[in-house]
Amino acid sequence: MSQETVAALKARFPDAVYDVIEAFGETMVVIDRAIICEACALLRDTPGLDYNFIADITGVDYYPDAPRFAVCYHLYSMLHNRIIRLKVYAPEDDAVIPSLIGEWPLVNWPEREIQDMLGIDFEGHPRQAASAHAGGLGWAPAAQGLPIGEGRGPVFL
Amino acid sequence: MATTAVSTEPFSDYQGDLERLRGVVSPRALTGETMLLNMGPQHPSTHGVLRLLLELDGEEIVTCNPEVGYLHTGIEKNMEDKTYVQAITMTDRMDYLNPPANNLAFVLATEKLCGLEVPPRAQAIRVILLELWRIASHLVWLGTFSLDMGAMSVFLYTFRERERITEMYEMVSGQRMMGTYFRPGGLWRDVPEDFVPAVREFLDIMPEKLRDYERLLRNNPIWVERTKGLAPISAEEAISWGLTGPSLRGSGVNFDVRKAMPYSGYDQYRFDIPLGEAGDVYDRYWCRFQETWESLRIIEQALNRLPGGPVLSDNRKFTPPPRSELGVSMESLIHHFKYWTEGIRPPKGEVFVPIESARGMMGCYLSSDGGPKPHRVHFRQPTFMHISALRHMTPGWLIADVIAIMGGIDIVLGDVDR
């Protein structure tokens, strides 16, 4: 079902498509983070693919593995009823991923949520510098390895 | 200082320093030409803690900046510290007006990872409860929305009917709202004998009640005047802002996850997807209202075909042994102990499961590292996207219309701040 999508991505970005994983009936394409905007625009604008809807964006923290961070984009095509996951990785010391906001205005809040919760920055997003945010906590609340229920000092709401 | 998990712009602590709002509001606000007004975080019509920073030119909205995060619960993070079965209890608390749908998204994702088959009886009971709660959620929405719009009596009647649904849920799960009734592989237990008659009675009384509500609203000129033609959204705009559910279908986009990507056997039921035309607040109301009729149709079909048999998968790798075996089988006793203390270990991998909750497309992204606890859980919540679209919907309308627009997208703040 999603072979066409994978083929289109491979044809356009032969060096930047790292892996295609078919598991649990879902297709995941691991690509280079530098091409995420072009890849999403390609999937949206190519007739026959028409991925017109971003169903979800989420960040994943693979601490202590490297590269530490990943962001998953779930693109959905209402016309063809297909869903595909694009995944990009970012190392801990350079946790920056290009923002999709120029292509899709709706990613504004999901990207902010990832910024706040995991500390991944989105380059080009109107609000940058995730580390300064998350309510000024200075640490990412949803990061792996953060002890739950143990002392991080009081949090004043 | 406000700790906001998801702030729209760094304006939460502007403390009257307008320079810090540069880029957030129009330049006219910086010179004092327009007025800034905070609606919320504790405004009666926000049904939770949502803050809107409104920029007003007279009574007209120039910009609207929603800010959420006041109710942040850390549910996604907390689920990473619980076993798969324990984590289901967290999901109930997200969208508290429609708890079974939250259960279902997470349980379906777990089942997809484990490769669990759900018995037909469990599927049918799931559908009955999901549709009952879709009705309950729409009833709460209809009541509170009408209350905001000045049609007060509807609220009293819708809550009376919703009470019947919570009673039925208490019958099956022991709890009025936070039931945690769906489990990986099926249900916690079978429904009691008096459940089916109770649902039938509900189906009998409900059509007349729905007609009553409709009469109360359709003949109320204030209510109609305040909703018709208000904040129309085109289909393209609705898609590009990420709207789903009745808010999207009000604009005429035929997208319902139950039809597009059927789960729990929804492909076996006959039901229609009500679609609006103008995409205004009234059409969104109309879609929701017609959906309750369709839900009644689905429940009736599910009751008529309710099959017998077990309600939990017999794949013992991921389901607990039945209580009856514990007294006679040592292995079952060990299995029971290990299931509840260590939990299940789905294979390594990641899945994304979308479902249609009462508010729209709800998705669960679940990543497993092969251990007994989820590695990462993330929920795609419809209200989160809907509130972010408020900034596009409200400019140009009056301050009283903000209440109607906000009500029209059916917000639940627990849904936003997981």
Contact across the interface for A116 and B385, Cβ inside 8 Å:
no
Rg, chain A, Cα only: 17
Going edge to edge, which strands form the sheet with B35-39?
B35-39, B51-57, B60-67
Contact across the interface for A74 and B351, Cβ inside 8 Å:
no
CA angle B377, B379, B384 (to 5 degrees): 145
Average pLDDT over residues B124-150: 92
Give me B397's structure tokens: 């309308």
* Chain A interface includes B76 (CB < 8 A): yes
Cβ within 8 Å of residue B219, ≥6 positions away: none
**Which of B81, B349, B376 faces A148 most closely, judged by CB atoms?**
B81
Q: Chain B contacts of A72, Cβ < 8 Å?
A: 350, 352, 365
Of the listed ranges A14-28, A117-131, B135-149, B160-174, the least confidently predicted one is A117-131
pTM of the model: 0.91
For chain B, what percent of residues have pLDDT higher than 90?
A: 61
Give pLDDT, residue B89: 93
Q: Which residue is associated with the tokens 């290990």?
A: B338
User: Which CATH architecture group holds B75-313+346-381?
Assistant: Orthogonal Bundle (1.10)
* CA atoms of A39 and A24, how far apart (whole Å): 23
**Structural domains of chain A ordered from first start:** 2-96 (3.30.460.80)
Contact across the interface for A112 and B6, Cβ inside 8 Å:
yes
Which residues lie across from A88 on neighbouring strands?
A71
What is the 3 state secondary structure string of A47-80?
CCCCCCEEEEEEEEECCCCCCCEEEEEEEEECCC
Work out the minimum CA distance from B260 to partner chain A, whole angstroms.
7
Q: Which residue is associated with the tokens 């969104």?
A: B284
* CA atoms of B257 and A56, how far apart (whole Å): 14
pLDDT, one tens digit per residue, over A59-114 is 999 988 889 899 999 999 999 999 999 999 999 888 899 999 888 888 888 888 88
Contact across the interface for A54 and B242, Cβ inside 8 Å:
yes
Q: Chain B contacts of A130, Cβ < 8 Å?
A: none
Q: Does ipTM exceed 0.85? A: yes
Burial code (b: 16+ CB inside 10 Å, e: under 16) for B369-402 equals beebbbbbbbbbbbbbbbbbbbbebbbebeeebb
* CA atoms of A24 and A2, how far apart (whole Å): 14
Does residue B19 or residue B119 have the better pLDDT?
B119
**Domain residue ranges in chain B:** 75-313+346-381
Q: Chain A contacts of B10, Cβ < 8 Å?
A: 127, 133
Size of interface A-B (CB pairs under 8 A): 120
* A94 CB-contact burial (10 Å; exposed 0-12 / middle 13-18 / buried 19+): exposed
* CA atoms of A99 and A101, how far apart (whole Å): 5
Chain B window 112-171: which residues touch A at a Cβ cutoff of 8 Å?
112-113
pLDDT, one tens digit per residue, over B279-289 is 899 999 999 99
Q: Chain B contacts of A69, Cβ < 8 Å?
A: none
Average pLDDT, chain B: 89
Average pLDDT over residues B371-379: 93
Contact across the interface for A106 and B7, Cβ inside 8 Å:
no
| Residues B361 and B244 sit within 8 Å (Cβ to Cβ) | yes
Taking alpha carbons only, the member of B353, B348, B305 closest to residue B182 is B353
